[in-house]
Amino acid sequence: MPRLLPELGIARSDGTNGKVLAQLGKTDLLTLDDWGLAPIGDRERRDLLEMIEDRTGRRATLLTSQVPVEHWHECVGDATFGDAILDRLVHHAHRITLTGGSLRNLGGTTAEATPTTEKH
């Protein structure tokens, strides 16, 4: 996310935004890493909604975040866009919650995956 959203802004300014969004829409698995670490601006919300809309029901999207799902609306920064984006992402999602220490910490405890038994 910290790299994708600025790249979409650059693509918008140089006229390649449509091409970039089409490529992202056709990617079999799109990973949006570090969801919610930085605020999302208005234009970024619009790009994100368009990208997610193009993928919904067609391609897989994987989100990783240290922010609990119940706070994702706040990360989007606008209630209407939050509803639109998260409705497309969360309602047909499989959620896996990791517990334990950081995987980046070589001396730490190993994280364990705890998949929920229900589909969200």
- CATH code of the domain containing 59: 3.40.50.300
Nearby residues of 76 by Cβ (< 8 Å), 6 or more positions away: 40, 45, 48, 82, 85, 86
Domain total for the chain?
1
Pull the structure tokens for residue 71: 């706070």
Domain residue limits at 83: 4-95
Decide if 116 is inside a domain: no
Would you call 72 helix, strand, or coil by DSSP? helix
Decide if 120 is inside a domain: no
Decide if 33 is inside a domain: yes
Asked if 72 and 65 touch (Cβ cutoff 8 Å), the reply is: yes
Decide if 104 is inside a domain: no
One digit per residue, the tens of pLDDT, for the chain of length 120 reads: 989 989 999 999 999 999 999 999 999 999 999 999 888 999 999 999 999 999 999 999 999 998 988 898 898 999 999 999 999 988 888 988 888 777 677 665 555 555 554 455
Decide if 31 is inside a domain: yes
Residue 115 backbone phi and psi in degrees, to 5: -70, 145
d(CA 30, CA 17): 17
Per-residue pLDDT, 117: 46
Asked if 55 and 63 touch (Cβ cutoff 8 Å), the reply is: no
Decide if 107 is inside a domain: no
